[in-house]
Amino acid sequence: MTTKVFVDGQEGTTGLKIFEYLSERRDVEVLRIEEARRKDVEERRRLINASDVTFLCLPDVASRESVSLVNADNHRTVVIDASTAFRTHDDWAYGLPELMPAQRERLRTAKRIAVPGCHASAFLLAMKPLVAGGLVPADFAAHAYSITGYSGGGKKMIADYEAGGNPKLDSPRPYALGLAHKHLPEMAVRSGLKHAPVFTPIVGNFLKGLAVTTYFSPNQLSRTARPQDVQALFAEYYANEPFVRVLPFNADGNLDDGFFDVQACNDTNRVELFVFGNDERFVTVARLDNLGKGASGAAIQCMNLAIGVDEAAGLSR
């Protein structure tokens, strides 16, 4: 039996990557919309309601419109949204199976799933175990930054970088310096923190790959703990997770001649977690492919859970 899948917003970066994953699947039938009818509401309505799974790879407003096209008597179609529109809504399952023990089961039965943002995924996978374990208090003032490839900026940014000839693009480019990045709400709500982190992302001159670094001082913690204890907490929390690897504390093998390779998880659905530092201060780092586990890979993982197949089907670890 095949699963009928429609991608609404098939021309964007996330949609194209989802098509790439689906093209390798023999258990999936892709419902395609004609190019000339991409904005035809009635044709989109028909395809959404004909599908078993619809992926929304659209801006927030358009995603909300697409959700409204699901017929009232349609209790079959699973909608998986890649925008920020529903990520903090309680009636939508948050598409990060590893977030906490009950999350995976909710995704198996959910009809509405919101895929996390790439920066948020990395931040949460490093922060949630510390909050859930009582090591970090809910009123913790988190400070973090992310360095990411330019693919996260969409087609125009990709074209600008790949055209070459602009020396401004050769150096890292911090952005969202108004400190109101669109991923902040989910970072707070889904981590259990009372306040969103102070967070700054940075675009580098490479296609994909992402790492979020968060800063800690032991005196900010709820109880006495060394960074080695944080690494051990991660290892216990994610012991049975197929896509999460917890690396040894401060090991030289975590680095490339002393440097951290942001792109080391590219072309996988893997997340790698690190703790670096000493007894006076330490950082956590979460590394992933922003187009994989940070977007399209996460969407496919959620689909696998929702349709009852192997969670890792079509995904590389």
Residue 21 included in any domain: yes
Number of domains within the chain? 2
Residue 242 included in any domain: yes
Flag whether pLDDT at 77 surpasses 90. yes
The answer to whether residues 80 and 146 belong to one domain is: no
Residue 178 included in any domain: yes
Flag whether pLDDT at 190 surpasses 90. yes
User: What pLDDT does residue 153 have?
Assistant: 94
What's the start-to-end Cα distance of the chain, in Å?
26
The answer to whether residues 104 and 253 belong to one domain is: no
The answer to whether residues 58 and 147 belong to one domain is: no
Spatial distance between the Cα atoms of 115 and 296, rounded to a whole number of angstroms: 9
> For the whole model, what pTM was predicted?
0.97
Give yes or no for a contact between 190 and 246, defined as CB atoms under 8 angstroms apart.
no
The answer to whether residues 139 and 193 belong to one domain is: yes
The answer to whether residues 57 and 106 belong to one domain is: yes
User: What pLDDT does residue 201 have?
Assistant: 98
Q: What is the mean pLDDT of the chain?
A: 97
Residue 313 included in any domain: no
Give yes or no for a contact between 108 and 308, defined as CB atoms under 8 angstroms apart.
yes
Q: Of all residues in the chain, what percent carry a pLDDT higher than 90?
A: 97
User: What pLDDT does residue 181 have?
Assistant: 97
Give the residue numbers annotated as catalytic, written as ranges.
118
CATH number at residue 205: 3.30.360.10
Spatial distance between the Cα atoms of 10 and 3, rounded to a whole number of angstroms: 18
The answer to whether residues 63 and 163 belong to one domain is: no
Give yes or no for a contact between 100 and 128, defined as CB atoms under 8 angstroms apart.
yes
Flag whether pLDDT at 127 surpasses 90. yes
Q: Over the stretch 253-264, which tens digit does the pLDDT of each residue have? A: 999 999 999 999
Residue 186 included in any domain: yes
Estimate to the nearest angstrom the gap between the alpha carbon of 116 and the chain centroid. 4
SS3 234: helix
Q: pLDDT category, 126, cuts 50, 70, 90? A: very high
The answer to whether residues 74 and 130 belong to one domain is: no
User: What pLDDT does residue 285 have?
Assistant: 98
275 token code pair:
């703790």
The answer to whether residues 139 and 228 belong to one domain is: yes
Q: pLDDT category, 10, cuts 50, 70, 90? A: confident
Q: Domain limits at 157?
A: 118-290
The answer to whether residues 210 and 277 belong to one domain is: yes
Instruction: Summarize the confidence of residues 196-205 as an average pLDDT.
Output: 98
Spatial distance between the Cα atoms of 304 and 313, rounded to a whole number of angstroms: 7
User: What pLDDT does residue 162 have?
Assistant: 96
The answer to whether residues 161 and 265 belong to one domain is: yes
Residue 317 included in any domain: no
Spatial distance between the Cα atoms of 27 and 20, rounded to a whole number of angstroms: 14
Contacts of 276 (CB under 8 A, 6+ apart): 227, 249, 250, 254, 282, 283, 285
Flag whether pLDDT at 11 surpasses 90. no
Running DSSP on this structure, what letter comes out for residue 292?
I
User: What pLDDT does residue 196 have?
Assistant: 97
Q: Over the stretch 158-179, which tens digit does the pLDDT of each residue have? A: 999 999 999 999 999 999 999 9
User: What pLDDT does residue 206 have?
Assistant: 98
Give yes or no for a contact between 136 and 191, defined as CB atoms under 8 angstroms apart.
no
The answer to whether residues 96 and 8 belong to one domain is: yes
Q: Over the stretch 248-302, which tens digit does the pLDDT of each residue have? A: 999 999 999 999 999 999 999 999 999 999 999 999 999 999 999 999 999 999 9
Residue 316 included in any domain: no
The answer to whether residues 61 and 204 belong to one domain is: no
User: What pLDDT does residue 293 have?
Assistant: 98
CATH number at residue 90: 3.40.50.720
Residue 314 included in any domain: no
